[in-house]
Structure 1
Amino acid sequence: MCSKYHPIPLIKPATRGYWKIVNTQMGKLSVLFFISFFTIGNAGSGSHSLWALATYISGETPFPEFTVVVMLDDVQVGYYDSNMKHFIYKGHNTSDKIHDDLAQDGGYVFGIIYQSMKERSFHLKHHLNLTEGVQVQQRMSGCEMLDNGEPALIMFKETFNGIFVDHAIYNSMTHFIYDSGTLLLGYYGIRQAYEKALFENVLLPICIKSLKRFLKREKNVVMRKVPPRLRLIKKEVSGGFQVSCLAFGFYPRHINLTLLRDGQPVAEQDLTGGEVLPGGDGTYQLRKSLEVSTEELKKRHNYTCTAFHLSLDNKLDVSWESGTERRLHLSTLSALLVMVLIVMLFGIFLCVKRRWRCTASSQFANFDAKVSEEMNKSSDSQTNKMTAHTIIIIVIAVLQMKDLNLSQQAYCSAPPALNDGSPLAVG
């Protein structure tokens, strides 16, 4: 029955909030799709993979009917949709144009996938009695290659409205496994023979050739090694502490992070977290947390965060002893008190020094004023003495000049004397 599979609700496009519901459900399916991709596609650290994440949508939506995102390991390198019908390179090395044969191969393969998903969607909708609404079909297909260039596997996995449809894997080029699920009953024998022939003769050669080309162009991105940074975080919570082991800023995403208690690994069921997440800058992060009760804190366990990564020659360790928390608080408080005391003494020294400078400056100012006053007085007395001397000299000069004038007048008014000394007669 249709109700068994819980398809997307049949809502008319004119209904308010229609696209919100469709986008929400597509978002949930995409999240599950990419989680499955990272779980399967990045299982080995000594290999590289190329994956096509295809989505086919039946019904009226603003999205293309068919879209494909191409991933080299965990880096997007290409895009294809049914509107453009040609492959677009999306890698980091965009200085060179992509080869025509690579674009041609991509367009050819994605055209085959498009028609295959379109036909399968028609049969599944008929099988599930879905005649209206929006239906979402997703397929992940790709290949993996070892470091020596040998193909490791090729596989695909398909879902319809979040329901598993079928799955095929051609591993080590010798073992072929096909699971038709529960929606394709009666097609097992035919589908197995068809998928195996398609994998061996068409998809595998094209996928491995494309993988090598993409890897050559993007080797500086996907083959780089960035070592992790490790932190052991203690967070106080109700009833104790939460000890978190955090590794961040590393690439590639494969890492072994372990939380040890007294040298022994903590059981995974006692930890929270443990999922590798993107860091937003092309690197990854991983956190594992443990709740430590107050009773456990008293036992003074030693907690160690250990990380193994491809970029590290040796393991990376960060440790913390729970019993040192109180001593750490006391030492921190003592250090703060010593710093406050030093600051206070320094402030007192500055105040005393400033006051001494002010007192010395005022004393020097008074001394300068007295010296200036004495100099002014001395200068005034000398000026007065010089003025008195000048006046006396002037008076003496005036008196001498006056006496000289009187003598001249007396000489001019007296009659000339005769040779015998008697005065001349006046007639």
Structure 2
Amino acid sequence: MVRSIRWLELTALVCLVAPAWAQFRVEVTGVGMTQLPVVIAPFKGEAQSLQKISSIVQADLERSGQFKGLPAGGTQLDEISRPDWTVWRQLSTEALLAGSVTRLADGRLDIRARLWDAVKGQEKSDFRETVVAADLRLSAHRIADWVYQQLTGGQGAFATRIAYVTKSSGRYTLWIADSDGEGAKAALSSPEPVISPSWAPSGTHLAYVSFESRKPVVYVHELASGQRRAVANFKGSNSAPTWAPDGQSLVATLSRDGGSQLFRIELKGGEPRKLTHTGSINTEPSFSADGGTLFFVSDRGGSPQIYRMPSQGGPAERVTFAGNYNISPALSPDGRWLAYVARSGSSFRLHLMDLGTGQVTPLTDTSADERPSFAPNSRLLMYATLQQGQEALMTTTLDGRIKARLSGQGGDIREPHWGPLRK
């Protein structure tokens, strides 16, 4: 399992046996406690496009767990329509979205939408932007974020990106995709393993570990240009990079001194600074949102557990106590939650801890979960797992009630990480 390999400081990588998939089929399962009934009408003009804005928006909202999409039927609506509220109220509709897509003379797309409160029969807000055709899906995700904000008061996270790794035909590929898994583009392809992608806070760079030099080396990769540089290529293992919230440094696990310790690496250069000084393994660092605390995994107590310490180093405090094997900490951007993977018998399952109360909730009933990552609005978790014998990329709401499988049939996906909000 990847967990065991990561714990042994990544001396080898588990084989990924299924082909890479550039697109996913989204399957949403489960029922939330409260879901707002919404109608997303087909946008006028979208039938001429391969990408249906209304379908993308509805899938985004349903995946969030807070909305229930109702059928629009054959009703023809756009942003200037005057809906018959009697019809929609009979369906218990609480919100209605309609819009249009118009191709301009220069080839760009004029996208407009209107959101109504169906209970009051009143307009809530309008949306309008002009995009190049290649950004149609991005515009749909922005509309979903706008609807989410209008109806919940919170920030959406649909117009974001994710990173993950696949293996196909003996090559490892690092993919960048939309938050729903669609529109995947390869950032790197290598005959040697690529693991542990980590988004920079700016969303412009990724750090990751590549074995192309026949040993684990940490790279920083600029996505726009494809340029990259090795930032940790010391003797021994260089692994598990994570970005500091200011984007100026990384913390990674280095074994250059003979043990596996956490080091802070300034990207402007200079000697890495050791943060842990124990005879045990210290790995999988993860920053709190404010950058003041570093969570990590250590076996200093006899088994892998999650600890925290000041991000500049210092005394460590144990965080997990239930069970004898807890790994892969991920902190929510709002500072409320710690997600991690706990072993129970032979099963590895995703758990969520309320950092304020210490209460722990198991979120899954699968047995091979790995590497949780929060959406930048802290409302969803992404993780990799095994379902019906196949690798799958999943999202779940924080109560575990609504799950979405983003992987296609036979898709084998590992090492997911959710990127920041786009600026």
TM-score range, shorter chain: under 0.3
Q: Which has the larger radius of gyration?
A: 1
Structure with greater helix percent: 1
TM-score of the superposed pair, with normalisation by structure 1: 0.20
Higher RCO structure, 1 or 2 (CA under 8 Å, sep 6+): 2
Structure with greater strand percent: 2
